Structure formats: C-alpha cells, structure tokens
Structure 1
Amino acid sequence: MDTDIHHYPPVDTRLFDWLAYLGLIPFVGGIIMQWLGFSLWGVTPRLLFTAYSAVILSFLCGVWWGAALNQVGHPHRMILALLSNLVTLVGWVALLMFRTTWALPVLLVAFGFVVWAEARLNPNLPGRDQYFRTRSIVTYLVMACHLLMILLLL
C-alpha cells in the first residue's frame, strides 16, 4: 500500500461539508432550549450542549488519530496521535464538569486549539482542502455557539 501522502487525488467532499453544517443543529438546539428554559426528556440544555460539544471535539480529534495511523510519512504523525488523545481527554473532563462555570469555556478553548493546531500540523490529505476549509468555518461557528451559551448561562 502506498503511504506517500502526495499521491491522493482530489475528492468530492460535498456530503461531508453538508454533514459538518448539519452538525451545528444540536448546538443551536441547546441554545434555543436554554433561552426558552426547557429540558428534553429530563436532559438540561447545559448537559445536552456540553455532552454534544465533548462528542464533536472527540470526533474532530479522531481525524488526527486517523491521520497519524494512516499517513505513515506524515511529519507530525506522533504529535497528531498524542494531541488527539490529550484534547479528547480535555473534552471528557469538561463533560464531567458540565454543572460548573468552567465546562463551556474549557470546551471553547479546546475548539480554538483544534483550529490553531490544524493550521500548523496539517493533518489533512491533499485533495481534501475544501473539507478542511468547511471544517474550520464550522468550528468557528461552534465557538460562537459556545460564547452565546456561556452568555445565556450567566
């Protein structure tokens, strides 16, 4: 199997782009629930928002894990593997703290770190540039949702 990352053709990522934007719905739903003051099946808006945020953060870091596993020649392979685990654990700790005022700011910073790290570590394969542009835009929107939820909780 060829592991040279420079031999991958461009890929149509429209489905993945749509799924990334659709992934904003639970964040917006949590904000609306908090604003209107209701829970869903006994789940508070804070828990829903925090849990979904931690899951999405883990999902984003799973891409780093996959890059480390599948791109043997990647110059940041070991850093990607270690950071994928570290950031996922930060998300898990934030989830455990969901009732505190620290959970959402921690997740907000973690999403900011993901955008920052991806720009520097380049985990994406060539030909997937559009998806990672979309992923960055959606991550900034997720960060804005975190700021709005934090304001609603104050």
Structure 2
Amino acid sequence: MNSQTAASQCTSNGAFVPSPAIWLGGAGVVPFLACALLALLGPEPGASWAAQVMVCYGAVILSFLGGIQWGLATGSADPTDVQTRRLGLSVLPSLVGWGALLLPVLWGLLVLLTAFALVLFLDLQATRRGEAPAWFPRLRVPLSVAVMVSLVFGAVASV
C-alpha cells in the first residue's frame, strides 16, 4: 500500500474519505490556524488585523458549508420535506456569516464559533439519517474542531 492510498483510507464504518477531501479540507483550515497564531502572538496592528481576517474567512467558509447542504438537498431523490428543510437550512450559514461581518470582531468570532458548531451538529445528523456520505463525519469533525479552536484563540486575542 502506497502513502497516497494510506492517506485516503481514513475510515469510519468502512467508508473511505477521498484523498482530495482530506487535502483540500486541511488546506482550508490553514488560514484559520495562521490567523489564530498571528492574533495571539503577533504585534499590533497585525494581531487585530488577523482577527478581522479570521472573521472574513470564517464567513466565507461558513457559506461554503451551507453550499454543501444545498448540494446534498439538490442531489436527494426525496423531493419532500427532507429536501425542503435542507434547502432552507442551507441558506442560513451564509446569512449568519454575513451578520458576523457586521459585528465587532470579538462578537463576530463568537457568532462564527457557534455557527460552526451548529453546522457540524447538522452534518452529523444528516450522516446518521443517510443524507450525507458515511465518511463525512471522519472529515468534518477534525476540520471543524481545528476551526473552532482557532476561533476561540482569535476571540481570546481580541479581548
């Protein structure tokens, strides 16, 4: 087994997480980690700027997560309440992210932290109901934890 095959074999209930999802998801976390480090350890005005950048990037990524829900809904064979509910929920992350951009940085970070936790919860529920791939939690949980820890560090730095 080569290293690429091994990297794609992070499993949950026998379901493989696709390698591109692992690499691209991990790359998406890097700006959060970099901003958190700069916000905590960097000199001013760079530290304040990093916290603001984290709010902006967080709003974009939160919107992306809503887009995943939209995709799951439109790809569903069930055009009933499940699809309607998922389509309705899929637009909320964008609206919450936009709202976070309008708040002072500390509050924006805290709103994003809460929203990322709620979206993760909804994603885990969707997987349990068979509406998302079985491997989805194996990808989403570590990425979301890294994002949420970064947001906490950004908020601590913003106090």
TM over 0.5: yes
How has the CA–CA distance of structure 1 residues 124 and 21 changed in structure 2, closer, same or farther, with 3 Å as cutoff? farther
Which residue is equivalent to 2:100? 94
What is the CA-CA distance between 1:67 and the residue it aligns to?
A: 1.0
- Which of residues 127, 131, 137 in structure 1 aligns to 2:142? 137
What is the CA-CA distance between 1:94 and the residue it aligns to?
A: 0.3
What is the CA-CA distance between 1:44 and the residue it aligns to?
A: 1.4
* 1:54-93 to 2 correspondences below 5 Å: 54-73=59-78, 76-93=82-99
Aligned residues: 141
- Which of residues 148, 153, 159 in structure 2 aligns to 1:148? 153
How has the CA–CA distance of structure 1 residues 12 and 112 changed in structure 2, closer, same or farther, with 3 Å as cutoff? closer
The one-letter code sitting in structure 1 at the alignment partner of 2:69 is W
User: Identity percentage over the alignment?
Assistant: 28
Taking only aligned residues, the RMSD between alpha carbons, in angstroms, comes to 2.4
2:106 is paired with a residue of what secondary structure? coil
Q: Does the 8 Å contact 1:58/1:88 carry over to 2?
A: yes
Instruction: Tell me which stretches of 4 or more aligned residues in structure 1 moved more than 6 Å.
Output: none
Consecutive unaligned residues in structure 1, runs of 5 or more: 1-9
The one-letter code sitting in structure 1 at the alignment partner of 2:78 is G
Counting helix residues as a fraction of each chain, which structure ranks higher? 2
Distance in 2 (CA, whole Å) between partners of 1:55 and 1:111 is 12
Q: Does the 8 Å contact 2:33/2:147 carry over to 1?
A: no
The one-letter code sitting in structure 1 at the alignment partner of 2:148 is M
Question: What TM-score do the two structures reach when normalised by structure 1?
Answer: 0.80
Which residue is equivalent to 1:4? none
